[in-house]
């Protein structure tokens, strides 16, 4: 029972890999996609409730998140018809996030992945985006995502550079 959160993280990594071979936006794709999103929220909650948080659990969660995000990007982005402006904005956000990772390593001598409220909101919006955009193709929703994501990335960088974070 103590390691259940770790098993949830591991299952998300496995389901993400399976998601990579399933047809994008098919019924099985949606089931696994939603499972991965729910399991991302569930593993941390379970770890805190069972008092079984650990460094290995945090690493498993981050690894599972990275696998899920990479698979989602590879599967979903080619299907979406994003404007050039949105693509450029997304690249700028990605560059800011990469700079944040590099700065966190320089300042703290380790990689720091912040779980700020803004990052969590960004993650939630990005998670539901394919479910909304594929059915509506809404540029307004895409702009909202970019605004929230760039705020989150800038805030994260500010926290890292002003050392207003607890990295332990």
**Domain C-terminal end among 43, 78, 113:** 78
Q: Are 96 and 150 in contact (CB under 8 A)?
A: yes
First-to-last C-alpha distance (Å) of the chain: 25
| pLDDT score, position 163 | 75
Cα–chain-centroid distance for residue 13? 13
| pLDDT score, position 36 | 95
Q: For the chain, what is the domain count? A: 2
pLDDT tens by residue, 36-56: 999 988 988 899 899 888 889
* 168 in the same domain as 85: yes
**Domain C-terminal end among 78, 111, 146:** 78
Q: Nearest CA to 9 among 73, 55, 75?
A: 55
pLDDT higher for 11 or 3? 11
Structural domain for 36, as ranges: 1-78
| pLDDT score, position 27 | 93
| pLDDT score, position 165 | 67
Q: Is the pLDDT of residue 17 over 60?
A: yes
How many angstroms separate the CA atoms of 30 and 42, rounded? 18
Cβ count within 10 A of residue 22: 17
């Amino acid at each position: 029972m103590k390691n259940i959160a770790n098993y949830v993280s591991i299952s998300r990594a496995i389901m993400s890999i399976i998601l990579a071979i399933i047809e994008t936006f098919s019924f099985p794709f949606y089931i696994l996609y939603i499972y991965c999103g729910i399991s991302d929220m569930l593993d941390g909650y379970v770890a805190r409730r069972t008092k079984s948080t650990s460094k290995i659990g945090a690493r498993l969660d981050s690894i599972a998140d990275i696998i899920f995000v990479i698979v989602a990007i590879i599967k979903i982005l080619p299907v979406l018809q994003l404007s050039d402006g949105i693509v450029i904005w997304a690249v700028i956000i990605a560059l800011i996030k990469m700079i944040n990772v590099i700065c966190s390593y320089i300042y703290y001598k380790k990689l720091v992945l912040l779980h700020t409220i803004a990052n969590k909101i960004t993650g939630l919006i990005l998670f539901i985006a394919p479910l909304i955009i594929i059915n509506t193709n809404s540029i307004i929703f895409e702009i909202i995502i970019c605004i929230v994501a760039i705020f989150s990335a800038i805030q994260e960088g500010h926290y890292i550079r002003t050392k207003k974070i607890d990295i332990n």
